[in-house]
Amino acid sequence: MYYLFLMIIFKSVLCDNTNSLFHFFFCSQEKIERRPRKAPSDIDGYAVEPIHQQEIFELVDIKDPEHPYSLEELKVITQDAIEVDGNRVLITFTPTVEHCSMATVIGLCIKTKLMRSLPSRYKVDIRLAPGSHATEAAVNKQLNDKERVVAALENPNLLRMVEECLAPTYI
């Protein structure tokens, strides 16, 4: 059911851009504490630390839309399910149940988070683990369609949901 709902939203969003006007009237007052910290020894200041599996895994520390747990705790994503190959990242996630209505939202969250956190040269592909979901193919197609993703994020309701899921990772 939710899948259908999403489809409707995806479409309706394309002709609804009025919300962007609000950008100019509200501001966030998020205050982030900072203190000078004792530096770890900067042994080789110029050495390059490549982005690897674990770093991406730490980035995908997302709250489940339906539970107060993180995706890691629910074993929706594991570190082994992340493949990094050059500038390509492939993430395979496993919904908790086969008919999980939130699979699309979870995928969207992961995608949004990585799009915001990885350098732009990376291409992120998200897919459901084979056989883990009833409408696997449809969800996969939806998640890897660039335009649909952008459109979805223009929708205020959906964006709010995504932001809520991503929020705890920024504390």
Partner 1 sequence: MAKLSSLVQHIEAFVDVSRPANQQTVSIDAVASLLKNDLLTIETLVKEMEMYLTTTDNIIRARGILLLGEVLTCLTENPLGNATVHSLIRFFTDRLADWQALHGALLGCLALLRRKSDAGMVTGSDARALAESYVKNLQVQSLGQHDRQMCFELLECLLSGYPNDVASLGDVLVYGICEAIDGEKDPRCLMVTFHLVEILAQVFPDPSGPLAHYAADSFEILSSYFPVHFTHPKSDDLYVKRDDLSKALMLAFSSTPFYEPFAIPLLLEKLSSSLPSAKVDSLKYLSSCASKYGVDRMEKHSREIWLALKDTIFTLSSENVLSVVSESPDAMGFQENEVVKEGLICLHHIILQNSNLFINLIVEDEDVEVIFRSVTSCRSYNDITVEDRKKLYMLGRILSVSAQVSSSSCSRIFQTFFLRLMDILGVPLDGSFLLSEKLNSGALYLCIELLAACKNLVLDSQEYASKSFSLEDTCCSLLRNVSAALTDALSSILVLRMDQGVSEDIYSGVKGLQYLATFPGFLPISKPLFENILAIFMSIITSGNERALLWKLSLKALVQIGTFIEKYHDSEKGLGYMNIVIEKFIELICTDDSVMSFRLKLEAITDIGSTGKDFMLRITQGMEEAISTNFYEACIKENLKAVEILLPLLECYSSKVLPWFQNTGDFEKVVLNFAINIWNQIENILTVSTCFQKKDLLDATMMAMSLAVGMCSEENQAMIVQKAYNVLSLVTSLPLNESLPLSAPINVEGLEHSQYLYSFSSVDEWLISLFASVIMAVRPQTEIPNVKLILKLFVSVLLRGLVPAAQALGSMINKLPVKLNSTEGSSTCTLEEAMDIIFEANLWSLSVNDPLRKCNIMDRNKVGITNLFLNIYENVTVPTQAIVGLAWIGKGLLMRGHEKVKEITMLFLRCLLSSGKIRIFPVQQDSLGDCNGPDIDPFVMRSAADAFHVLLGDSEVCLNRRCHATIRPLYKQHFFSIMMPILLSSVAESDSSTSRHFLYRAFAHVISGSPVIAVLAEAKKLIAVILDALSTLSVDVMDKDLIYSLILTLSAILTDENERDAVTENAHIIIDRLIGLTSYSHKMLVRETAIQCLTALCGLPYVRIYPMRTQVLRAILKALDDPKRIVRQEAVRCRQAWESISSRSLQF
Interface with partner 1 by CB under 8 A: which residues?
A: 19-20, 22-36, 39, 42, 45-49, 51, 55, 59, 116-121, 156, 159-160, 163, 166, 170
Q: CB of residue 170 vs partner 1: minimum separation in angstroms? A: 5
How many Å apart are CA 142 and CA 82, to the nearest integer? 19
Please state, in angstroms and as integers, the Cα–Cα distance from residue 149 to each residue in 24, 55, 107, 109, 152, following that order: 24, 23, 10, 10, 5
Helix axes 146-154, 2-13, angle to 10 degrees: 80
If the CB atoms of residues 12 and 20 are measured against partner 1, the closer one turns out to be 20
If the CB atoms of residues 58 and 98 are measured against partner 1, the closer one turns out to be 58
How many Å apart are CA 3 and CA 128, to the nearest integer? 15
Q: CB of residue 68 vs partner 1: minimum separation in angstroms? A: 19
If the CB atoms of residues 38 and 131 are measured against partner 1, the closer one turns out to be 38
Q: CB of residue 25 vs partner 1: minimum separation in angstroms? A: 7
Q: Hey, CA dihedral for 31, 70, 67, 11, is it positive or negative?
A: positive
Place of tokens 């050059």: 86
Q: CB of residue 8 vs partner 1: minimum separation in angstroms? A: 19
Helix axes 2-13, 156-166, angle to 10 degrees: 120
DSSP 14: T
If the CB atoms of residues 8 and 39 are measured against partner 1, the closer one turns out to be 39
Please give the single-letter amino acid code of residue 111. Answer: K
Q: CB of residue 100 vs partner 1: minimum separation in angstroms? A: 26
If the CB atoms of residues 15 and 27 are measured against partner 1, the closer one turns out to be 27
Please give the single-letter amino acid code of residue 44. Answer: D
